[in-house]
Amino acid sequence: MDPSSSSRARRRVHSLSEQLIPSSMTSSARRRQHFQDVRARESQMPPPSSSSLTTSSEARISTTHAIIERNDALFWKNKEKFTVAVLGAAGGIGQTLSLLLKQSPRIKALRLYDIAPITPGVAVDLSHINTESEVTGYAGPDQLRDALVGCDLVIIPAGIPRKPGMTRDDLFKINAGIVRDLTVGVAKYCPNAILNIISNPVNSTVPIAVEVLKKYNAFDPRKVLGVTKLDVVRAETFVYGLRKDELQRLRKSISDVTVPVIGGHAGETIIPLLSQMTPKLSKPFEGSELQNLTTRIQNAGTEVVDAKAGAGSATLSMALAAENMATSCLKGLAGESNVIECAYVSSNVIPELPFFASKVKLGVNGVEKVLGLGAMTLFEEQMVKNAIPELRASIEKGVAFAQSS
């Protein structure tokens, strides 16, 4: 599916309805008033007689009704708002992500949790922003329960980031325990919440979270997602950079570019499916250009780690990617249709791997459907084969850690 086409359709319907609504109220009050007026008028109208209506006026009325029905549905659907917690909210990703989430009309309560004492201060700072969600801060394990009770979505960016020369797996020693302990909190205090795990190594932290949830009888495979969206964001950015001229000739902007990225979230397990990118281009990526682009997408995290020279890894682009992912999860929860993202989830797409990143369809319970891999080139198939041993080892390491602790 093309998520942008549904939002374009929504914008079109919205602007049509705006033309029908008086302008002296806030937009939601205007919309509500309009629906009430239309219903009141409808209830007073005599039933239409075929002789008094021309075919074109019938068509006009039925089109107007269709628009009103669709607007009504969107209005009430969009009224559903959610409670979201960010665990690790005082960090580089956590603070920026919280700032982005504060601007979401889908969130009624934003809970910021971290072990850092500054966290309640970060929440006070954000709470002065003039959007409707309420922000509260929680610092330290004694307050984890209050941060989590009633949450619909929990996002975990807690943990240490990479320094130059480190692999994501080097973070395992510290981040494994952090993700384990925070997931215990989720299992106890909001077992029905959807979990978005950002903390690295994602290829292992997701299996850790799943094992913890199993221990507490709180595991639902639809609700645990490793956030690999940054790989997609990077792939789309780099592809646009290389094919800007043709895309501009096609009148496509960077936001029209889609590139699925599958596998996992470390080095060669990051597998961009460039053959499946949209829009289709006259000259596909091949040869050394394909190899260089693939390598750049796989090493983009290291590009940032090296450029920050010891002061951390990607935070700003990661926060944006996490916000995109969270928004898609909330759209799914709200019952919106055709919400597709790439994420690292429980999967049988590759029979020998219990977890794999692929396109998933999001719905009211989280992952509604794990989508297949689609037609791949030989180059892409080979990348999948090459990634299997590393993914298997990372998964086994995570599972063993969680089972032994």
Ligand X SMILES: NC(=O)c1ccc[n+]([C@@H]2O[C@H](COP(=O)([O-])OP(=O)(O)OC[C@H]3O[C@@H](n4cnc5c(N)ncnc54)[C@H](O)[C@@H]3O)[C@@H](O)[C@H]2O)c1
- The contact set with ligand X (CB under 6 A) reads 87-88, 90-94, 114-116, 157-162, 171, 175, 178, 181-182, 198-200, 202, 227, 230, 265, 312-315, 318
Burial 123-162, CB ≥16 within 10 A → b, else e:
bebbbeeeeebebbbbbeeebbeebbeebbbbbbbbbbbb
In sequence order, what are the residues at sequence separation of 6 or more whose Cβ sits closer than 8 angstroms to the Cβ of residue 283?
Answer: 246
Residues forming a β-bridge with 359: 342
Which C-beta is closer to ligand X: that of 146 or that of 246?
Answer: 146
Which C-beta is closer to ligand X: that of 226 or that of 363?
Answer: 226
Kindly state the smallest distance separating residue 141's Cβ from ligand X, in Å.
8
**What is the C-alpha separation between 116 and 103, in angstroms, rounded?**
23
Kindly list the distances between the CA atom of residue 314 and the CA atoms of 93, 135, 143, 160, 190, in Å, as whole numbers in the listed order: 8, 25, 28, 12, 29
**Candidate list 14, 65, 128, 265, residue with the active-site label:** 265
Q: Are 216 and 184 in contact (CB under 8 A)?
A: yes
**What is the C-alpha separation between 270 and 113, in angstroms, rounded?**
30
Kindly state the smallest distance separating residue 264's Cβ from ligand X, in Å.
10
Which C-beta is closer to ligand X: that of 168 or that of 243?
Answer: 168
Q: For residue 265, indicate whether it is catalytic.
A: yes
Which C-beta is closer to ligand X: that of 94 or that of 263?
Answer: 94
By beta-carbon distance, which residue lies closest to ligand X?
91
Kindly state the smallest distance separating residue 345's Cβ from ligand X, in Å.
14
Amino acid at 184: V
3-state helix, strand, coil in the chain (%, to 5): 55, 15, 30
In sequence order, what are the residues at sequence separation of 6 or more whose Cβ sits closer than 8 angstroms to the Cβ of residue 265?
Answer: 168, 200, 201, 202, 203, 226, 227, 228, 231, 344, 357
Of 31, 24, 19, give the one whose Cα is nearest residue 74: 31
Which C-beta is closer to ligand X: that of 34 or that of 168?
Answer: 168
Kindly state the smallest distance separating residue 27's Cβ from ligand X, in Å.
35
Kindly state the smallest distance separating residue 96's Cβ from ligand X, in Å.
8
Active-site residue set: 265
